[in-house]
């Protein structure tokens, strides 16, 4: 059985999410790859074919990195709220955030 966590850590660039969040993301992705692998074996594919099918689910590591960082970024980092007496106003930051 493939070690999906190791596979992901070897291929995924470091995420700037903190160790706990990064571990959580790797766990989720590893579970997904394992499910694809197991389903492929159940469909009658060989271990090699099942492995190839699972790894084919991730074809752009840099895009995946960007999506994971964007998906786990707290909403507060992209929106600011200014409160004045009797009025609450939300303002979107105008400067793009660095990844």
Residue 46 lies in a domain: yes
Token pair for residue 31? Answer: 């579970």
pLDDT of residue 24: 85
Residue 76, in any domain of the structure: yes
Tell me which residue range forms the domain holding 18: 4-92
Name the DSSP class of 95.
Answer: S
- Report yes or no on 98 lying in a domain: no
The per-residue pLDDT for range 20-77, each reduced to its tens digit, is: 888 888 898 899 999 999 999 999 999 999 999 999 988 877 777 777 777 765 544 4
Task: Return the closest-CA partner of residue 12 out of 69, 72, 50.
Answer: 69
Counting the structural domains of the chain, the total is 1
Report pLDDT for 51: 96
Tens digits of residue pLDDT in 1-24: 899 999 998 988 877 778 888 888
Q: Tell me whether residue 97 is in a domain.
A: no
**9: DSSP letter:** H
DSSP per residue, 76-88: GGTEEEEEETTEE
Report yes or no on whether pTM surpasses 0.85.
no
């Amino acid at each position: 059985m493939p070690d999906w966590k190791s596979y992901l850590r070897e291929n995924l660039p470091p995420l700037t999410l903190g160790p706990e969040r990064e571990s959580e993301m790797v766990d989720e992705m590893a579970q997904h790859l394992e499910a694809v692998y197991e389903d492929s074996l159940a469909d009658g594919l060989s271990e090699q074919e099942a492995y190839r099918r699972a790894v084919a689910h991730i074809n752009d590591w840099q895009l995946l990195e960007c999506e994971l960082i964007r998906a786990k970024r707290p909403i507060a980092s992209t929106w600011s709220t200014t409160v004045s007496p009797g009025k609450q106003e939300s303002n979107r930051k105008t400067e793009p955030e660095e990844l």
